[in-house]
Structure 1
Amino acid sequence: MALQTIKDSEGNIIDPFGGFLKADFVLLSDGEISGNMPNIEIGFRGIFNATLNIKVGNVDLHSGMYGGFAPNAIHELAKIISKFYTEDNRISEDELYLESAPITKEILENNKNIPFFQEEYEKITGKRKFFTENNLDFYTKTGLLPSIEVTGIQSGYAGEGYRNAIPHKALAKINVRLSPTQDPQRVFASFKKFLKKITPDYIDWDINCDQSGKGVFVEVDNEHVAASSIPIPFTIFSPSAYFVGHTLPP
């Protein structure tokens, strides 16, 4: 069963025709295709979005009088963010990996068989470099592992001309994708504990979790997935099981 949800229109179908729609298993798909291979989406990452605020004083200070002496909120925020990942592209806090979905040999074999065209991705995105960890493939990295992305920073003055003042406060918008089996509230608590560990005592800070949603995880050898993976009639292709990096709306 394929379903594209527009507002709450599915209720207009399911409520009056529920008796005709009885099924042992419902498969929701966004219909993505990898190369010429259709995908059966059996996993979605979880998510939370948070706002981190930091303060290093009460007012902005003139750089001529205090430059190089007083803490700069932008510099301090950059230092905090720089500690999110190790040099080998792994989240630096192990606790943020707890309760992640198991990456089995079956999953790795399945994911390596899904076509991935690096040159095409580079052309589409304009990126010249992509990051992974432990030499994992694209689909395992983006579908089964957590990630931390800073999606916005606000501080200081960025208008026309210059304002030679040292910012005393800054904020960052942070998007955290979770392994499909992780609980958003538990990971947020671990992330908050991690921030406390890496933030100096002279910085006042707080973080608020504004949005969150749980992931979905189905084993690749699930009987319903296996039944759905038979070759599509009139084609030479068998669908592949695909762990999706984005999140279903809560």
Structure 2
Amino acid sequence: MNKKAVSLILLSTLSGFTLSACGKNDSESSIEESVVEANNLADERSLQTSKAIAIEDKNVNEVGQTTIGSVGSTSPMQIAQAESFLNIYSTTCAKYLPNLDELRDKLKDLPQLTDVQAKQFLKGHSGSAWSVPDDHGTFVLTLIEEKNMCAVYANKANSQVVEKQFSNMFASAPSPLTSNERDNSKQTTISGERTTLSYEWAQQGAQRKMLFMLTTDSSADADVQALFTASMIQE
């Protein structure tokens, strides 16, 4: 699945969320125009991101140096891992965020991780966890019962590539929703650097909001190098 397909999934989801948030007095044509406009913008951002990565690769090759964890040192496999990670997140957590019970129902008959296996991903909460088959990495999807939250874990993911793709997708939202950066912080650890990025999408004045969050760990020894979460929050 390419970036355009991911954009269409998200924007289809958001058009439904927008209709719900705005009420039935809003015309469907105005929503469709917003979706088309936002999709074009997402395509443009995707192209800009690809160009930026290509330029960084070229610069690194010219000086003959690479830095572990930098975009310039990424391999095709690392890029594929990041794209798979975003695709899984977009088609599960982001797509079904307004109604995670529907996602639970779709997954109920699929084999889940055992209680012992799921424990490290549920972090003490009640819920379910599934291993997501993919050719490019090891990924785990979780749904927390007592929270309106969905998460996707990646065993391996290049932090800078994932962060670029995440920001490219969520730093702005289709009208009439707006995007607000909630967090952009870094924490130095013994073995690397942990980064947290989050964006909040909502209609102006609305109390119900969508929160998209990414946490990455640059340490090569980390059991989980990247974590996506999506949740509905009430403020």
State TM-score, norm by structure 1.
0.21
Greater relative contact order: 1 or 2 (C-alpha under 8 angstroms, separation 6 or more)? 1
State TM-score, norm by structure 2.
0.22
